[in-house]
Structure 1
């Protein structure tokens, strides 16, 4: 699975969830029996399809004159191209699910989507989510599913056995790793066959980058800030080198897969896995113990007082400008952005993190990683991943992080290589300052 800025967003968003439903209005064309039908395009991941069905069923039960027709598309780059093509040719479904964050820019929302700025549809959307569905000051979508954490998944049973506490600094994390290694357990799981997984020490460290350099995202987008010349940004590459140099990685990490890594973690054969919380819910059917045995913490920085976590925001649901059912589509989005929709989804798909809807609470039996992430959000100690704040992400990051994490490339050199990779992409986007 190739995951650069584009495919990581798609892969995460696919795991993150999507939803469907809608509603009609008397002023719009209706079938002979008075029903209004909305088409809804989602990706074909199982989590997405399950969520879409749960939301559609709940909505249609409350609104029997509304029919939802859900269609699926592939994920990844192929799915991206389908969405772009259908929008550009005017053949898009009434409403559709797609990434939030910088990938939204590529869809030219001002020309292809309905502007929802100040619309009542947004009444229950948490305000700090809105920037990731905003372009040029206009809001275009509502969140579907939950936020997810990008940091360290850890085995709580191992921590309990060894009397360890969740680290708040990198030094504390490395000290924990030393104790875990001494007990014969793999301290840090790496799965570089799935190269996208190598990026988490860098991407998940953005909370610490922003804490040290609050304007990094803007300066980076403008070509003024670089990874190699920003100590806090180089740290993510250094983390990759540190755990390799100390011998903390699993044997065969270069050929291990993401699925194998998650299994190692759940079975307690590995204690830590730099990963996304979205990876947990699909495992629960086979490994129900993952709900309670696996926890989450943000990648530790240098200051315990500033400890926090990087989050991946939910995907968005948007309305195509070509819809003939605007009122119905807006009612659909209002339902998606409601506690009722979250309740319907909770019965089918375990949330991987907190909802971004006011009043949408995690269930009492929520998985531990979701509760852990909620705690970071409750204390205001989160930052969106850089890809939600900047359109700039070089396509070769995963190859660079594999090399650094394998001891083949020094971290400072890896950061410099990434800056060159980023420059090519920024120029292709036509960004000022590059």
Structure 2
């Protein structure tokens, strides 16, 4: 079913001329349903409209998670994809067969200003680049409620044992949920497994290479299986909010911002949503990396942001490309910051952050300032990511499945994806 957006936003592109008159164009864009994606799409299209008032743009939204992935694939396959759409970089992009379905952007004048660390995640094996980043880089870990930490005299944990000790103290001394989970939005259930990859990489630096070559599995790699084990441990400890099965992503952000809950595993892209929905509590939310076993190796898993893409079936390719070229500018970065706040380092040369970044951003930036404290998420090191992970992690996080069987099931899920991609040795 086609989802309608709440309003129609004017966007502008490069209008053609006929008989000396500008020819009006109407383009369409498909956005994710989170508040930051919508706000960014609106702000960028409004700015572009101000420069090129002869083109309009209608915006649709789609669900997140597996349902949203299926909508993207179906609309590309049927030729019904809007002229521009927002979607993931990395392994999920590869499932779209970009060389067959998307427009290369190598000839954009500003493509050289997009950092190679990003373009490498939206390219094919022939070096064709397909996406422009829609936001700054994102890291995964835990948001935490700063006033609660201050009230209890807690320190930011650098090991998993210290983190669980903090949860125990919160449970004992307050009526707050130590650890927020929001399984109504099933995609959020994956974060504790995915954000643990820095710790996997630290212990097994060649895991991604072996995993892609079908020489390593989650089930037979202790460091990789720990993400599932930590989720199981947290569930069995009883630290989740009572409504974790019905709570949504927006509920989770509200809880950590207001102090109803204390820890929320999430990507830092959500800082923008906190700024939009809970501006008065923005600096009550801090951030720390998902802890591992070794305090001396404490770092974050880094995600590349979603990107704007153009389907090959678009009737407005030139205008859409001009819009994406505009997105790859410092001016566009400033527009994004004005719209949703600063949530991390930008991936376009010349883009800067304001001095007064939110508390969670200032907590996150030091990880980028020291060598060895960041690692890309597995989906940016390997094209293999099983589509069923969010269902598996919901089962672990509700006690239906243990970590051992979850890792084994995910390995089977991954195998299906690898064979679809026709990877060697699968």
Superposition TM-score, scaled by structure 1 size: 0.83
Aligned residue number for residue 21 of structure 2: 33
Summarize the Cα distance change of 1:60–1:134 in structure 2 as closer, same or farther, 3 Å threshold: same
Match of 2:409 in 1: 417
TM alignment of 1:86-125, pairs within 5 A:
87-88=76-77, 93-117=82-106, 120-125=109-114
Secondary structure of the structure 2 residue equivalent to 1:306: coil
What does 1:7-406 correspond to in 2, within 5 Å?
23-24=13-14, 32-34=20-22, 37=25, 39-43=27-31, 45=33, 46-61=35-50, 63-64=51-52, 67-76=55-64, 80=69, 83-84=72-73, 87-88=76-77, 93-117=82-106, 120-136=109-125, 137-184=127-174, 185-321=176-312, 328-379=319-370, 381-406=373-398
Q: Number of residue pairs matched?
A: 414
Relative to structure 1, the CA distance from residue 118 to residue 373 in structure 2 (aligned partners, 3 Å threshold; closer, same or farther) is farther
Gaps of 5+ in 2: none
Q: Confirm or deny: 8 A CA contact 1:311 1:385 kept in the other structure.
A: yes
- Structure 1 residue 297: deviation in Å? 1.3
Query: Any conservation in 1 of the 2:27–2:316 contact (CA below 8 Å)?
Result: no
Instruction: Verify the 8 A CA contact 2:114 2:349 in the aligned structure 1.
Output: yes
CA 1:36 to 1:374, structure 2 compared with 1: closer, same or farther past 3 Å? farther
Deviation at 1:78, TM superposition (A): 6.0
State the 1:226 CA deviation. Answer: 0.3
Segment drifting more, 132-141 vs 95-104: 95-104
Q: In the alignment, what sits opposite 1:6? A: none
Looking at structure 2, the residues matched to 274 and 302 of structure 1 have their Cα atoms a distance apart, in angstroms, of 18
1:32 is displaced (CA, Å) by 4.4
Partner-residue secondary structure (3-state), 1:54: helix
Query: Relative to structure 2, which stretch is displaced further, 147-156 or 418-427?
Result: 418-427
- For 1:4, the equivalent position in structure 2 comes to none
1:360-397: CA deviations, max 9, x gaps?
A: 22334433223333332333532332233334333433
CA distance in 2, matches of 1:327, 1:33: 18
Question: CA contact under 8 A between 1:220 and 1:226: conserved in structure 2?
Answer: yes
1:88 offset after TM fit, Å?
4.8
CA drift at 1:120: 3.5
Residues 378 and 42 of structure 1: is their aligned pair in 2 closer, same or farther, counting only changes over 3 Å? farther
Give the deviation of 1:201 after TM superposition: 1.3
In 1, the alpha carbon distance for the partners of 2:303 and 2:225 equals 21
Deviation at 1:51, TM superposition (A): 1.9
Task: Tell me the TM-score normalised to structure 2 length.
Answer: 0.84
Describe the superposition over 1:180-208 as per-residue Cα deviations: whole angstroms up to 9, x where unpaired. 23322432223344443322211111121
Taking the aligned partners of 2:24 and 2:358, their CA distance within structure 1 comes to: 37
Partners in 2 of 1:160 and 1:314 — Cα distance? 32
1:157 is displaced (CA, Å) by 1.0
Deviations 1:60-82 (A, max 9, x none): 43x34663424425334565555
Aligned match of 1:10: none
